[in-house]
Chains A and B, each alone.
Chain A
Amino acid sequence: MTLKIVVCVKYVPDATGDRRFADDTTTDREGVDGLLSELDEYGVEQALRIAEASGDAEVTVLTVGPDDAKDALRKALSMGADKAVHVNDEDIHGSDVIGTSAVLAKALENTGFDLVVCGMASTDGTMGVLPALLAERLGVPQVTLLSEVSVEGGVVKGRRDGDAATEQVEAALPAVVSVTDQSGEARYPSFKGIMAAKKKPVAELDLDDLGIDADEVGLAGSWTKVADITARPARTAGTVVKDEGEGGKQLAAYLAEQKFI
């Protein structure tokens, strides 16, 4: 039986470029350079490694996003994924993580899966809760934040490195996992991979295809709302303490004033 692995990936604004918000307080995804979230590259990598180890597996990459999000899918396909699913619908614009997880869960049910692989968080929203929301919606176990992962005999196993302890965790498939940036360096697309990606199937789905009402998602259907945005003020020169015998006292006074000590 072919092991069906689906990797959820996100197209995010390039963190090295100019990132900003649109007029409706959502992340501006139109006027900025975007790319496959670096943290999701780890998810694609682990999915490919599990597929290679299994010998009989199929890796699908799934994204919810605007037209340009196809670039993230293309990158994952060029790394070696077999096919892609792009959920693209104007009504999804502005969805919070609750809405996004609803769309992804429906898409996953639509595609079918044995194992869902996610990155540890997106590099734009950085919430990191999506894998848990997906597992809940799909009614399957979740093993999250793995720095090592493998699939053996219908069970996904992995290692979770915490601050106080290292845990060996496992779950019976079907399951949702998320992998960290310590799970293993993501491969670079090869020339052959890039050329092959062009010919791989990319399915386009909208809300109708998934049977989702427009008012369940988007800005209107979101549980959270961004009320206001203020850019972080530019760093100021700060206070310079010159040590003329009383420097230590002055530093302590400053820290006390800021309630650090």
Chain B
Amino acid sequence: MSNSFDLFRTTEEHDMLRDAVRSLAEAKIAPFAAEVDEQGRFPSEALEALQGNDLHAVHVPEEYGGAGADALATVIVIEEVARVCASSSLIPAVNKLGSLPVQLSGSEELKAKYLGALARGEGMFSYCLSEPEAGSDAAGMKTRAVRDGDFWVLNGVKRWITNAGVSEFYTVMAVTDPEKRSRGISAFVVEKGDEGVSFGAPEKKLGIKGSPTREVYFDNVRIPADRMIGAEGTGFATAMKTLDHTRVTIAAQAIGIAQGALDYAKGYVQERKQFGKAIAEFQGVQFMLADMAMKLEAARQLTYAAAAKSQRTDGDLTFFGAAAKCFASDVAMEITTDAVQLLGGYGYTRDYPVERMMRDAKITQIYEGTNQVQRIVMARNLP
């Protein structure tokens, strides 16, 4: 046995990053989490803190002015922010989701322009795939892009767009050839300021209330042809490839939320006394905490393994990304529900953070592909 055995543990740098993000999140983000949820307002304090410390989009490569963080480091940033405020964790998470299509498939000019602007904190990046009639069946989208000389003209509606309205930049998937279904879809960068772009009313959601979710409308939006990401007809493939990587970030969010709930419950049961002793001394309570910690650790190990695969773009990333997202989010739902249970009546009130965590956890089972879709993806890509 030797302490120099470096498999199955994070590097010293990753641990230092976790310490740094945790202190920042506890000092600058956590104090506003309840208010952000209660008022359903954007966590501007979190955006400022993350941008001020270059943590808002750590995945952007150094050559485009970013921090150049690997996929595991990005996961750690999202996890630690989600531990105190799930809404705020959508800042680094959606910045990766929105910009990864550009990073994976965009031209050098497009990367320099938009990844640079994202890294400099000039604007956030959202991802527009879903539509009112095209959710799990994303290829059934109706948003159209029609070529007009050196321009493309976009028309249509995108739904469930995270951070819509507050983001400056949008990756938009649109049909360029209706005959070819998924191979007739192309991806574009659209800017908030482009004429014809507008937003619907914010959705009234169960959780992640601090992160606006809105429809995005494209009404004859005319954009230069060089805003197309990759070649014509490759948009759907880019969108799916992006999700292989970013499902890992949803898993990160899920384990962060679950860790926040477990940490809170662990503290509470040692303080709360019934029948003359701390409820932590009851074996029934201990068994619940043991199960929660066991599930969380299993989810974390799977997520970190998937993050490593994302960084290396391993051939089995599709399975691992879906598995990590699905497992971590199911586990987060269980752990946050159990945390509420451990706090009893108090847990059910907004005076304690665990009910918020339980509501926030639910979305991780739904977005970036429902967990039913994840199981389809896994079944088609069994290792």
Contact = CB atoms under 8 A, between A and B. Distances in A.
A and B are partners in one complex rather than unrelated chains: yes
Interface of A: 74-75, 78, 187-192, 194-195, 197-198
* Most chain B beta carbons < 10 A, residue from A74, A187, A191: A191
* Most chain A beta carbons < 10 A, residue from B20, B21, B68: B20
Contacts of B314: none
- Classify chain B: how many residues form its interface, as a range: 10 to 19
B24 A191 contact: no
Given A74-B16, A78-B16, A198-B13, A188 B68 contact: no
Contacts of B24: 188
Contact of B67 (A78, A187, A188, A191): A191
Contact of A191 (B12, B23, B55): B55
Contacts of B73: 191
B54 A190 contact: yes
Given A188-B20, A194-B20, A198-B13, 20 more contacts: A74-B12, A74-B16, A187-B53, A188-B24, A189-B16, A189-B20, A190-B53, A190-B54, A190-B67, A191-B55, A191-B68, A191-B73, A191-B77, A192-B54, A192-B62, A192-B68, A194-B16, A195-B68, A197-B16, A198-B12
B69 interface: yes
A69 B345 CA distance: 45
Interface in B228-265: none
A158 B12 CA distance: 37
Contacts of B21: 188
Contacts of A187: 53
Contacts of A191: 17, 54-55, 58, 67-69, 73, 77
A191 to B, nearest CB: 4
Nearest to B22: A188
A39 B62 CA distance: 33
Contacts of B23: 188
Nearest to A191: B67
A74 B11 CA distance: 14
A234 to B, nearest CB: 16
Contacts of B68: 191-192, 195
A198 B54 CA distance: 19
A189 B18 CA distance: 10
